[in-house]
Every structure is written in structure tokens, then in C-alpha cells.
Structure 1
Amino acid sequence: MKLKPPFKLNVPMVLTWIRIALIPVVIGIFYLPDSLVPIHLQNIIACVVFVVAAVTDALDGFLARRYEGWATRMGAFLDPIADKLLVAAALVALVGLDRCDMAIAMIIIGREITVTGIREWMAKIGESGRVKVNWYGKFKTIAQMTAIPCLLWFDPFLGIPVALIGEWLIIIAAVLTIYSMYVYLRAAAPFFEEARAQRAALRAQKAQAQSQGS
């Protein structure tokens, strides 16, 4: 049972907009002159901003589920878009800094776009339950959301090779990305075939009707 909100302001929506507003900072901080903001400080700021944005993602979802009236269609639409833009922006920054291979970034970003499209289409035909989040996707998210802050921070911390940890985790995330996308595609494949067959049958009916009319 959902609780009554403590105040009228829709906090999850505010958090989502804050996350969207923080996205340019993740990239923009690295364009500041080193004389103004040293590179090690740029790394720290970008890492902290990314972590704060990621925390708002977890928090807005929790609040939307917990309080009545805070889960809205706009929030359901914007939240996943903000998440994917945040990850994509961070990966673009990391590729530009030569801390992440472009192929890995393209795999992860491409998967997010593909899976989002599949989910939207499956929801439209009433089969969203067939493409629920699987454990591969969950582990991918954990690896990815740990790797990106590590690669943004980059410098060793208390003797810990942060960059090396990030490099391995982003590779693991890419592997899990490919497999989880395969799982989603396999689940949706029968419905793709059914939709294609329906379109083919409809075209055949139209062609037959036109031939009879002529």
C-alpha cells in the first residue's frame, strides 16, 4: 500500500530533472582549461557528479513506488531517458579521454537504444511481461555503474588501481550487455515474426481487394 506524500511537490520528478541537468556537467567539466581546473580535480568533480546523478535515479524510483501520486506517466517516460543519457554522456566523455574503447561504448549505448525500443514495442502490444529485467541485465548495470565512476576518477586511491578496476568492469559490462540483449531479442523474436506475418497477410488482402476491384 502506497503512503500519502508528505507534501505536494512531486519529488521524483524534481530528482529526474536534476539528473538531466547534471548530464552536461559530466562532459563539460573536461573542457575547462587545466590552468583553471587541474585534470585530477576534473576527474573528481565528474566522478562525484555522476555518482550523485546515479543516486537520484535510485531515489526517485523508490519514492515513486512508495508514495501515492508520485508515479506519473511523464516520470515513467523521462526516468529511463535520463538514465540512458547520463550513461551515454559519461561514455562519450571517457572515449574522448581515451579511457574507454569506442567499440565498448557503442555496444553499451546501442544495447540501451535497442532494448528500450523492444520494451516500448512489447508494452504497446501488451506483452511487456515477456521482456522483464533479467539477472544478466542487473549484473550488467552493477558492473557498468561501478566502472564509469572508476574511469572518471581514474587516479589511484589509497594504492587501489581505480582505473584498472574500471577497465575490467567496463569489459565485463560489455560482455553482459551483449548477452542480455540477446536474451531480450530471443524473447521478442516470436512476436516480431507474428507481427511480420500479420503485415504480410494485410498486404495480401489489400492486393487481392485491389485486383478484384479492377
Structure 2
Amino acid sequence: MNIPNILTTFRIAMIPVFVLVFYLPVSWQYEGAAIIFAVAGWTDWFDGYIARRYNMTSPLGAFLDPVADKLMVVISIVLIVELYETPWIAVPALVIIGREITITALREWMAEYGKSTDVKVSFIGKVKTLWQLGAIFFLILGGANPSIADIYGYPLFIILGYFTLYVSVALTLWSMYIYLKAAWPYLTSQK
């Protein structure tokens, strides 16, 4: 276990804490959950930085890091769908979760043929993740009793949450297109 793997394991361990705080019957439940989510998001960036900078990459880390990311994102999105109870959140959530399942399966399939580098994480995939994390953070905060700022009667965090969510959905579809385009020759091959 090196430092990046410890940070990734910490991120996975934070998921049940995040869910517990999200459901706590206290006035600060959403603020607390948002802070835990933000800390988990920063450990994602930090463990990757340390692994690359100090050459601490490992097979365990290569496996755990995307698992931790997808668990945190999918679980958070499911909670947000429940919180908002609107198709304006549910439909983007379905797109994001559907893309995650599709690309994970695609990467697994490509790895069986030794072509996993053709669908490795791209820059647009990283940007998509950043927007998703922002959307989740703002939407969790938007569930709190808003007292910071309103714009035309809507809480600032909800406006930011919807905006970043829809940008992340556009990036989600774009990145999925890029991965599917790279894999298409193999998917349609007669060999």
C-alpha cells in the first residue's frame, strides 16, 4: 500500500460516511455531505498527482481508482435524484450512469483484445469528471435551506448545480462518442 492507494481506499471508505451524513436528521446534513464529497473529490486528484509525480503507480491503484470514482459519482447521483424528484435531474442522471456502464464494459471488452490503450482516459473524460463533481457538489448544497443568495427566487447553488449538470451531460455524451469512435473498428470487425 502506497500513499495513492491509501488515498483511494480512504475515498472508498468515505462513501458510507457520505451517505450517512446525507440522511442524518440534522440541519447541516447537506452541507456536511457536500464537504465530504468535496474532500473525496480532492483525494481523487491528489492520489493521481502523487502516483504520477513520484512514480507510485500500481496495478491495485489502476484498478481501485476508477472503481472509487464511479462508486462515488453513481451513489451521489442516485441520492440527488431522490432529493430533487424531477425528470430535469433524473434524465441527466440516467445519461451519466448509462455512459459509465457502457464505457466500463467497452474498456473491459477492449482489454480482452489487447486494445485498452485505444480507450484509455482522455482529456475530455477528465474535464467531464470535473464538471460532474462540480454539479454533484452544487446540487447537494442546493438541497440545504438556502440562505446565501437567490437569483430570481432560485437558490444560487441549485442554479449552479443545474448548469454544471447539463454541461457535464454534454461532455459525457461527447466523451462517450470519442471512446465509441475509437473502438468502432474493433466492434465491427469480422475477425
Tell me the equivalent position of 2:63: 77
Could you tell me which of 9, 19, 29 is aligned with 1:17? Answer: 9
C-alpha distance in 2 between matches for 1:133 and 1:14: 22
Q: Which has the larger radius of gyration?
A: 1
TM normalised by structure 1 equals 0.77
Q: 1:13 offset after TM fit, Å? A: 1.2
Tell me the equivalent position of 1:159: 149
C-alpha distance in 2 between matches for 1:20 and 1:136: 24
Cα pair 1:26 1:89 within 8 Å, conserved: no
Q: How does 1:6-85 map to 2 (within 5 A)?
A: 10-33=2-25, 37-38=26-27, 41-68=28-55, 70-85=56-71
Cα pair 2:22 2:32 within 8 Å, conserved: no
Cα pair 1:26 1:93 within 8 Å, conserved: no
**Once structures 1 and 2 are overlaid, which stretch shifts more, 182-191 or 49-58?**
182-191
**Once structures 1 and 2 are overlaid, which stretch shifts more, 48-57 or 24-33?**
24-33
**Which structure carries more relative contact order (alpha carbon 8 Å, separation 6+)?**
2
Tell me the equivalent position of 2:125: 137
Matched residues, number: 182
Cα pair 1:136 1:176 within 8 Å, conserved: yes
Q: 1:27 offset after TM fit, Å? A: 2.1
TM normalised by structure 2 equals 0.86
Tell me the equivalent position of 1:173: 168
Could you tell me which of 79, 84, 107 is aligned with 1:98? Answer: 84
Letter in 2 for 1:61: G
Identity of aligned residues (%): 45
Which segments of structure 1 move beyond 3 Å, counting only runs of 4 or more? 132-136, 155-158
Q: 1:31 offset after TM fit, Å? A: 2.2
C-alpha distance in 2 between matches for 1:142 and 1:98: 22
When the two chains are superposed, the root-mean-square deviation of aligned CA atoms in Å is 2.0
